[in-house]
Amino acid sequence: MFKLIPTDEKFFEMFTQSANLFLKGAGLLREIAQDNSLIKTNALKLERLEHDADQLTHEVLVRLDRSFITPIDREDIHRLTLALDDCMDTMEAATDHMVLYGIEATTEPVKSMAEYIEAQAKQIVAMMPLVKKLQWDLVRPFCIEINRLENDGDRVTRQALGDLFSPGIDVLDVIRWRDIYELLEGTTDRAEDVAGIVEGIVLKHG
């Protein structure tokens, strides 16, 4: 039987490239959480990675605009491309705020969130090469794990935000850490968005 889906797999390759940039950035975030002396250095590296991710996103969208036939629906390519880019943008914003607010030492919630984000990124990297197969049973375990990690991140964030309002906490510290925690939690949300979009793609085309 002939294939109904075009064999051009460049878009899938670019999705994997974007996922790998996210994973590399997540590794830098984990290093910051483990070694506070790396906050400024790794934040700068992450900023550069974010620019690379933006450039890749631009290349995907230009290719999409110029392609007459695409391997999956155009809107799915567009949504997944932007969702992957959002992961990097939100994570980079978190480290940027650490530098902006003069953070010198991270907290246990930051360490936990960094681990969850890196774990999600690893799942996304492993899942991306399977998307082109358009088989739900192949991507389902990764989607489930990414969602579980997002739920764990939610619990850590809620507890961390609640602790900020304990007696004796400086108001400025509340503002600083609230923004950082919410951006880290937002990164886990964006990773979950990627899983949801992938799930929709394989269910539609599979």
> For 71-129, what is each residue's pLDDT tens digit?
999 999 999 999 999 999 999 999 999 999 999 999 999 999 999 999 999 999 999 99
Highest mean pLDDT pick, 42-51, 59-68, 160-169:
42-51
Does 206 or 49 have the greater pLDDT score?
Answer: 49
Percent of the chain topping pLDDT 90: 87
Q: In sequence order, what DSSP letters do the residues of 144-206 get, joined into one string?
A: HHHHHHHHHHHHHHHHHHHHTTSTT--HHHHHHHHHHHHHHHHHHHHHHHHHHHHHHHHHHH-
Confidence (pLDDT) at 31: 98
Confidence (pLDDT) at 169: 84
Give the model confidence (pLDDT) of 163-172 as tens digits: 998 888 889 9
Look at residue 4 and tell me whether its pLDDT is greater than 60.
Answer: no
Alpha-carbon span 132 to 149, nearest angstrom: 24
Confidence (pLDDT) at 183: 98
In angstroms, how far is the first alpha carbon of the chain from the final one?
16
Confidence (pLDDT) at 8: 61
Confidence (pLDDT) at 98: 97
Confidence (pLDDT) at 158: 97
Tell me the Ramachandran region of residue 70: left when phi exceeds 0, alpha when psi lies from -120 to 50, beta otherwise. Answer: beta
Confidence (pLDDT) at 116: 98
Q: How far are the Cα atoms of 118, 133, 150, 155, 203 from residue 130, in angstroms, in the given order? A: 19, 6, 21, 30, 13
Look at residue 2 and tell me whether its pLDDT is greater than 70.
Answer: no
Alpha-carbon span 156 to 8, nearest angstrom: 42
- pLDDT band (50, 70, 90) for residue 45: very high
Alpha-carbon span 203 to 175, nearest angstrom: 42
- pLDDT band (50, 70, 90) for residue 9: confident
Look at residue 7 and tell me whether its pLDDT is greater than 80.
Answer: no
